[in-house]
Structure 1
């Protein structure tokens, strides 16, 4: 990068725009997550590894990771129920850092030494969220202590904000796609029941719904079974 701050940020803005186009081109929410962490290691100075995790009901889930180091760090947070990424999601802490894992850390006294064993010197992370949808935490790891300066924090926050919006859009698009596929399969299954078994539209849907409830299986799965076999369920 150029040594002039203005040119550095101009280049970052161009790279960010290219990232945004790349994220929108992904085929699924998972692909979008995978690309976010890859871009983070390129765009943020000093970032050697990156990952995205979420915490559901006290359980840590790795959503994306650029290396096994990230997945191991996620497992350590799960085992200890302690760590900055864990806190970011459970306590809505928007930005957090461990500047030097070699120094005693008052808040994460057990987690920081474990990071050091993984060869991680510093960590920076951001809560990934949109206005109405909390998503998880983007975590950036460096092998070197005291790596992430104020410029890196600012760049990370901007990247995380773009990433959250991109992921939310990808997930909404994916959910819509699943909904349309489900609607199509249910419609096809109802058509089979109406044609082969002489049912009207209302009765055909009731048959689908009752089979779903009786077997505790999703309506789409019942519909798919009818489409494959042509048989009336139950």
Structure 2
């Protein structure tokens, strides 16, 4: 755990960090044979990441098909979802028998979240029934916290980069207007904002149009 914390403090890609989390889950938690991460996408869909085998992605497809299952429930509702034996599980009447038929009999899912933001779920599966222990849940929760922190940090970095790019484009557009019409910075921004409001178009899109007139 300490090694992983130090690893996350260095510059690593998100894919590498998540792959280390799922691999660690298989190594550290008894009864876990395969693991993966179900990520909530901006459009409200789901994406399978860092799977240790093809199986977690296959199980994610089943959950999306049936609109039920522990991974979706952990991603959208409960913090931890535990299943000792899918053959006896009644919470997901379509998903449970389908999973058991594939050969997956137990599961443990953890919500990936920081504060009020939810990113998805860390999902662990076993090929045998398993009475999950408190230590299993504790280890999984720590791994889930690492994964959530990495996902949120990446999303925040992407948002910052997008904001900086937007600011740069608006700045370029103001420069074009100032040069073309002989107005100051404040007036140029006011003209951009007025066009945005009148045409009901995002300010950055108006800026791109203005820049395009110079580039053409």
Q: What range is the shorter-chain TM-score in?
A: 0.7 to 0.9
Say which of 17, 20, 24 aligns to 1:43: 24
RMSD: 3.0
Aligned partners of 1:190 and 1:205 also within 8 Å:
yes
Structure 1, unaligned stretches of length 5 or more? 1-12
**1:75 and 2:61 equivalent?**
yes
Deviation at 1:68, TM superposition (A): 4.6
Q: How does 1:11-30 map to 2 (within 5 A)?
A: 13-22=1-10, 25-26=11-12
SS of the residue corresponding to residue 85 of structure 2 reads coil
Tell me the TM-score normalized by structure 2.
0.79
Deviates most, 178-187 or 63-72: 63-72
**1:205 and 2:198 equivalent?**
no
Tell me the TM-score normalized by structure 1.
0.74
Equivalence for 1:100: 85
Quickly say closer, same or farther: Cα 1:132–1:198, change in 2 above 3 A.
same
Aligned partners of 2:36 and 2:56 also within 8 Å:
yes
Q: For the residues of structure 1 that align with 2:194 and 2:57, how far apart are their CA atoms?
A: 42
Aligned partners of 2:105 and 2:128 also within 8 Å:
yes
SS of the residue corresponding to residue 88 of structure 2 reads coil
Aligned partners of 1:40 and 1:140 also within 8 Å:
no
Deviates most, 180-189 or 142-151: 142-151
Q: For the residues of structure 1 that align with 2:33 and 2:18, how far apart are their CA atoms?
A: 10
SS of the residue corresponding to residue 140 of structure 1 reads strand
Q: How does 1:1-234 map to 2 (within 5 A)?
A: 13-22=1-10, 25-26=11-12, 31-32=13-14, 34-44=15-25, 45=27, 46-54=32-40, 59-62=44-47, 64-66=49-51, 68-91=54-77, 93-101=78-86, 103-146=87-130, 149-213=133-197, 216-230=200-214
Deviations 1:11-62 (A, max 9, x none): xx2332244235xx14xxxx42x334311332113342311233889x5422
Quickly say closer, same or farther: Cα 1:84–1:169, change in 2 above 3 A.
same
Quickly say closer, same or farther: Cα 1:120–1:60, change in 2 above 3 A.
farther
Q: For the residues of structure 2 that align with 1:204 and 1:216, how far apart are their CA atoms?
A: 18
Q: For the residues of structure 2 that align with 1:47 and 1:15, how far apart are their CA atoms?
A: 22
Aligned partners of 1:60 and 1:75 also within 8 Å:
no
Quickly say closer, same or farther: Cα 1:142–1:19, change in 2 above 3 A.
farther
